[in-house]
Chain A
């Protein structure tokens, strides 16, 4: 057993390495601080305007507006949006065009956060409310609200998810942003609401945001070189012309692209075309800069756009935030990392003052971040940041300006290095490890299933070399050291690659063309489907379709069964499996993208989180029925005996009932059906019900199972003077105790699941048991076939498919989706009434990935079910090897899904929906694989090990000859 367990452990470590490397390269993380800046006296006198109109033309690249576009200019997107440059030529002190660097990830949501907070938002801003994309950080909109100013908004509805209730209600006009095929609806909506507000003489707004999407959608749909782009930019030019006409002297106009677009019109990554956004700032009234006060050239940066020869004035896109804040007389938001644009503060020598205010704010932010839990990220850069800070305080006159500016740029660079770069090398290394790891698992799988009872020998000859390979591979870390990368990353990469490679070489998985059959067709389709956003967000419907399909080959095999009994068993249980799967898929919470083709059934309605009434009524009966159903299944193999007689009625049933009761009380509590005065008592009761349910099954059930794991009855009879040992339930003597072990985990996950999810878990359990019976009967059929000669065939990879899909299906059915917003926060308050670590975190994790874990844990059952420990030694070892192969197979299934999702996330990192669809699915795949791996390891290390222990076998069989098996 040790050999089998260490193999599984090794596979797990390889998975961990792949996940670690890919995640380090792909998922950028940052802690967001909730502090808010307060107004300061130092900045008085810097303000020039009362109001601002900020128009965002999504994906407006710099060259779309510049005077000197790349040569040769494109007839479709160059020299068309000409108003900004015309005005800049006419009024150079009033109008400015910049090439603004938009930090990656260049996706709209992240850029909106960047422009309004001045920070470098990553995909995961830790500390935000994970459930929504709304931000808790300080922003210009928060500052406007603090100052009592009114903000209007129209356009891309992404803003509404970021700032759900910041804008004035009568001046908020959001439009759907993800319908890329639709080029005009959003723009026309913005236009129709923008001009009435501008024309309104009462000036109802102080700050207006209009977000046009047409240019971006043309880019995604047909690319920038298309007549549609020309028409779109012409339309935008006309709109800007009308806006300029209507502008008054107290209003500042800012027009900007939130990011650029690459040659094919997409964005999301860090390509120069994606990060070069246009920015145009225009003041109709007072001049923004004065010729009499020249700016030291050291403060101004220039960048050359690809394809052009002349460098143009370049800024950071987030520089607009401190600039705009000061020009409107607002405090600079707390998390800002941008620097003021010097041109606009050269009036009357205000430049030093503005830079100082800006630097004070950045320094305050960095110090706060450094004292936060994530402060360690700044360790490397801290000394240089402090050095430039000191230098800026010490310097004088012109050098002082440059030193001040230098401080903000050094700070930004330090933060950017932490937060804003995809790392393609690490991503590639991660993919390589996941890929070779998968091949290596396959090699182990083929090697182990062909070695059969010589398993131990196979292990001795193959695994130690790979261990030495891993140790040697660690030295690859030196390469990392030489290249200036992290030594740790390169070491683990080398170790995982070397050990996987050695396994593949020493036991090649492809020995002949026939070793490639049967192809796991469903798994391949499943993994490839992640390259499509549609298939990814409809996955919850595709999984049951594939699950039902996967049972069909068994059902067909059933038709050809030799006996009527087997035929009925196979077809009947296959139908039961399919029916349960279909019933589970009734329960769903619907993704946003599935509208309008999906109805929420998991909750009472799409806007509530209370369960539907049917689930409340069914709660207790289903919990009772589940326990009875499990025993009914055990009765088929007469293994509802021994410890099962105590465990199921006295330990499992009360815990399941407690789990249902907890959520019924929770429902009564939150809907206040009994009236307010009961609230306190209900809260106390349910806390204790939950504690009881967890404790009862975990301590009593687990303990009982560990002491007496067997579900058999032994009786000794004297017949004709001979001693006869009768063992009832012997036929399933390995499977039934393992099932008992499994139901302990089932019960724990059942308790943390809400009422509809409990019904789903019950159905999934019945589906699992049905499948075990199907598989057992099909093996019987095959054993009876002439060529098989009575031997049961070993476990085959495709046998895992119905189980693996069942796990994922249960995950979706229990009210989850591959989105962060589907986390069920209610589960955090089960054991305590306030968030308490670690209990709240544990119950949330169990609630979220428990269903997948459960079916990883169930995998060894495929090898153990209806196998006796009494079989000849080789066959008994085959049962154990089969259990291990089943575990390896389900780990490989989920590892393939992870590989599919990570390839799609890497390849489609410029896709419109990468942060909405592909990256969340990748994260779900990571969690799913970890859950399955841990389930299999627990199953193999504790469950199988205990069930197949030597003493048990001797106690029931070999001591006085063979025990007599009683069947039927």
Chain B
């Protein structure tokens, strides 16, 4: 089961001989953590707003473009949006691609971090775990991607339960499911490991019981998870308005809602960290 949870039992009261090492590392990782989150969220935002505008995708988008969207010329919107709304499918595809790359990089960093702060393993073990052989690394990655795909299928079903069309716009709905799955699942799969689905979900629900040392890693996982899910939930709301704007097309608003929710909650996680954890760290 989740290493993080196991470590919680000792995390609250670290053994004396480990304390100095741990605190040094924690201190370092807090400042690094802040800057890393900054970089990560900026890149995510950049990917969301600019990746769909790349020339290749835009040419595809023109090919794929929805005639109804193009024809609504009396619905002016800032020209910046045009590239994003031209073809929701291409936009979603770009979002998935960007998120996949960024989340893979982010979770490998987070994983290394969480190994560092776990207190129940020897330094040797930690190094071993940090620098896995390439084959094992690739296997882990492939498995994580596999789980993301499986989750995306489940998410597709859940999106339909929430009211997504059943027989129409299947590709768009699926890409949204995939995007949310990448945002919420990839990090956890790579960091927490391959515990069974129920165990992992219970781990999310029980995070409140964890000690402060592990909370950071957990917070870095759970906040964005909740943020992305809530963001996409709230993102559904403006679709119903009768403004007839191109950006109201399915599934742009829930996708960008998820992205925004993810970014905001990542930042919140850091802020909470900085406010509440600093005094403990600096002791």
Which residue numbers of A lie inside 8 Å of B, CB to CB? 181-182, 532-535, 538, 541-542, 544-545, 548-549, 556, 559-560, 567, 575, 578-579, 581-582, 585-586, 593
Interchain CB contact under 8 A, B241 and A582 = no
Query: Complex: how many Å from CA A560 to CA B240?
Result: 34
Chain A residues within an 8 Å CB radius of B240: 534-535, 538, 541-542
Q: List 29 A-B contacts (CB under 8 A).
A: A181-B74, A182-B74, A533-B242, A534-B240, A535-B240, A535-B241, A538-B240, A541-B240, A542-B240, A545-B163, A545-B236, A548-B161, A548-B162, A549-B162, A549-B233, A556-B205, A559-B205, A560-B202, A560-B205, A560-B206, A567-B198, A575-B161, A578-B161, A579-B161, A582-B161, A582-B162, A582-B163, A586-B166, A593-B242
Interchain CB contact under 8 A, B236 and A534 = no
Of residues 182 through 218 on chain B, the ones whose CB sits less than 8 Å from some CB of chain A are 198, 201-202, 205-206
Chain B residues within an 8 Å CB radius of A556: 205
Query: Complex: how many Å from CA A538 to CA B198?
Result: 36
Q: Which residue of chain A has the shortest Cβ distance to B160 in the bound complex?
A: A582
For residue B251, give the distance in angstroms from its CB to the closest CB of chain A: 14
For residue A763, give the distance in angstroms from its CB to the closest CB of chain B: 13
Of the four ranges (under 10, 10 to 19, 20 to 34, 35 or more), the interface on chain B belongs to 10 to 19
Chain A residues within an 8 Å CB radius of B206: 560
Q: Which residue of chain B has the shortest Cβ distance to A533 in the bound complex?
A: B242
Query: Complex: how many Å from CA A465 to CA B160?
Result: 52
For residue B55, give the distance in angstroms from its CB to the closest CB of chain A: 33
For residue A6, give the distance in angstroms from its CB to the closest CB of chain B: 41
Give the contacting residue for A548; candidates B74, B75, B163, B242; CB below 8 A. B163
Which 4 pairs across A and B sit closest by C-beta, in order of nearness?
Answer: A534-B242, A538-B240, A578-B161, A534-B241
Interchain CB contact under 8 A, A585 and B198 = no
Query: Complex: how many Å from CA A76 to CA B186?
Result: 59
Query: Complex: how many Å from CA A541 to CA B205?
Result: 30
Most chain A beta-carbon contacts within 10 A, residue among B74, B163, B206? B163
For residue B87, give the distance in angstroms from its CB to the closest CB of chain A: 19
For residue B128, give the distance in angstroms from its CB to the closest CB of chain A: 32
Query: Complex: how many Å from CA A570 to CA B248?
Result: 35
Query: Complex: how many Å from CA A534 to CA B233?
Result: 18
Chain B residues within an 8 Å CB radius of A560: 202, 205-206
Say whether, besides A545-B162, A548-B162, A549-B162, A559 and B241 are in contact (CB < 8 Å): no
Most chain A beta-carbon contacts within 10 A, residue among B198, B202, B242? B242
Of residues 230 through 246 on chain B, the ones whose CB sits less than 8 Å from some CB of chain A are 233, 236, 240-242, 244
Query: Complex: how many Å from CA A533 to CA B243?
Result: 11
Query: Complex: how many Å from CA A182 to CA B205?
Result: 51
Chain B residues within an 8 Å CB radius of A593: 242
Interchain CB contact under 8 A, B74 and A559 = no
Chain B residues within an 8 Å CB radius of A544: 163
Most chain B beta-carbon contacts within 10 A, residue among A559, A581, A585? A559
A549-B233, A578-B161 known, 13 other contacts, Cβ within 8 Å: A182-B74, A534-B241, A535-B240, A538-B240, A548-B162, A548-B163, A559-B198, A559-B201, A559-B202, A560-B205, A581-B161, A582-B160, A582-B162
Chain A residues within an 8 Å CB radius of B160: 582
Query: Complex: how many Å from CA A653 to CA B54?
Result: 63
Of residues 154 through 169 on chain B, the ones whose CB sits less than 8 Å from some CB of chain A are 160-163, 166
Query: Complex: how many Å from CA A548 to CA B162?
Result: 6
Chain A residues within an 8 Å CB radius of B242: 533-534, 593
For residue B8, give the distance in angstroms from its CB to the closest CB of chain A: 16
Q: Which residue of chain B has the shortest Cβ distance to A180 in the bound complex?
A: B242
Chain B residues within an 8 Å CB radius of A534: 240-242
Query: Complex: how many Å from CA A575 to CA B161?
Result: 9
Chain A residues within an 8 Å CB radius of B202: 559-560
Which residue numbers of B lie inside 8 Å of A, CB to CB? 74-75, 160-163, 166, 198, 201-202, 205-206, 233, 236, 240-242, 244
Query: Complex: how many Å from CA A579 to CA B163?
Result: 10
Q: Which residue of chain A has the shortest Cβ distance to B162 in the bound complex?
A: A548
Query: Complex: how many Å from CA A585 to CA B236?
Result: 17
For residue A139, give the distance in angstroms from its CB to the closest CB of chain B: 32
Query: Complex: how many Å from CA A575 to CA B157?
Result: 11
Query: Complex: how many Å from CA A535 to CA B244?
Result: 14
Chain B residues within an 8 Å CB radius of A575: 161
Query: Complex: how many Å from CA A548 to CA B163?
Result: 9
Interchain CB contact under 8 A, A585 and B201 = no
Query: Complex: how many Å from CA A545 to CA B240?
Result: 12
For residue A289, give the distance in angstroms from its CB to the closest CB of chain B: 46
Chain A residues within an 8 Å CB radius of B236: 545
Query: Complex: how many Å from CA A578 to CA B236?
Result: 18
Q: Which residue of chain B has the shortest Cβ distance to A536 in the bound complex?
A: B240
Chain A residues within an 8 Å CB radius of B162: 545, 548-549, 582
Q: Which residue of chain B has the shortest Cβ distance to A575 in the bound complex?
A: B161
Query: Complex: how many Å from CA A559 to CA B163?
Result: 23
Query: Complex: how many Å from CA A545 to CA B206?
Result: 27
Q: Which residue of chain A has the shortest Cβ distance to B201 in the bound complex?
A: A559
Query: Complex: how many Å from CA A482 to CA B73?
Result: 60
Query: Complex: how many Å from CA A575 to CA B158?
Result: 9
Query: Complex: how many Å from CA A308 to CA B240?
Result: 44
For residue A568, give the distance in angstroms from its CB to the closest CB of chain B: 10
Chain B residues within an 8 Å CB radius of A541: 163, 240
Q: Which residue of chain B has the shortest Cβ distance to A545 in the bound complex?
A: B163
Chain B residues within an 8 Å CB radius of A582: 160-163
Chain A residues within an 8 Å CB radius of B74: 181-182
Query: Complex: how many Å from CA A816 to CA B21?
Result: 68
For residue B236, give the distance in angstroms from its CB to the closest CB of chain A: 7
Query: Complex: how many Å from CA A545 to CA B164?
Result: 10
For residue A760, give the distance in angstroms from its CB to the closest CB of chain B: 16
Say whether, besides A548-B161, A559-B198, A582-B163, A532 and B205 are in contact (CB < 8 Å): no
Query: Complex: how many Å from CA A549 to CA B242?
Result: 23
Q: Which residue of chain B has the shortest Cβ distance to A557 in the bound complex?
A: B205
For residue B169, give the distance in angstroms from its CB to the closest CB of chain A: 12
Chain A residues within an 8 Å CB radius of B244: 181
Query: Complex: how many Å from CA A582 to CA B233?
Result: 16
Query: Complex: how many Å from CA A181 to CA B243?
Result: 9
Query: Complex: how many Å from CA A161 to CA B60?
Result: 45
Most chain B beta-carbon contacts within 10 A, residue among A182, A532, A545? A545
Query: Complex: how many Å from CA A545 to CA B237?
Result: 10
Most chain A beta-carbon contacts within 10 A, residue among B75, B160, B240, B241? B240
Query: Complex: how many Å from CA A544 to CA B233?
Result: 13
Query: Complex: how many Å from CA A538 to CA B243?
Result: 13
Most chain B beta-carbon contacts within 10 A, residue among A532, A538, A582? A582
Query: Complex: how many Å from CA A538 to CA B74?
Result: 23
Query: Complex: how many Å from CA A548 to CA B160?
Result: 11
For residue A561, give the distance in angstroms from its CB to the closest CB of chain B: 9
For residue A588, give the distance in angstroms from its CB to the closest CB of chain B: 12
Most chain B beta-carbon contacts within 10 A, residue among A533, A567, A578, A586? A578
Interchain CB contact under 8 A, B241 and A532 = yes
Query: Complex: how many Å from CA A181 to CA B74?
Result: 9
For residue B38, give the distance in angstroms from its CB to the closest CB of chain A: 31
Query: Complex: how many Å from CA A582 to CA B166?
Result: 10
Query: Complex: how many Å from CA A535 to CA B242?
Result: 9
Chain A residues within an 8 Å CB radius of B75: 181
Query: Complex: how many Å from CA A138 to CA B231?
Result: 56
Chain B residues within an 8 Å CB radius of A533: 242
Query: Complex: how many Å from CA A585 to CA B202?
Result: 32
Chain B residues within an 8 Å CB radius of A549: 162, 233
Query: Complex: how many Å from CA A560 to CA B208?
Result: 13
Q: Which residue of chain A has the shortest Cβ distance to B200 in the bound complex?
A: A559
Query: Complex: how many Å from CA A560 to CA B74?
Result: 52
For residue A585, give the distance in angstroms from its CB to the closest CB of chain B: 7
Chain B residues within an 8 Å CB radius of A538: 240
Query: Complex: how many Å from CA A586 to CA B164?
Result: 11
Query: Complex: how many Å from CA A535 to CA B233?
Result: 16
For residue A461, give the distance in angstroms from its CB to the closest CB of chain B: 40
Query: Complex: how many Å from CA A582 to CA B156?
Result: 13
Chain A residues within an 8 Å CB radius of B233: 549
Chain A residues within an 8 Å CB radius of B166: 586
Chain A residues within an 8 Å CB radius of B205: 556, 559-560
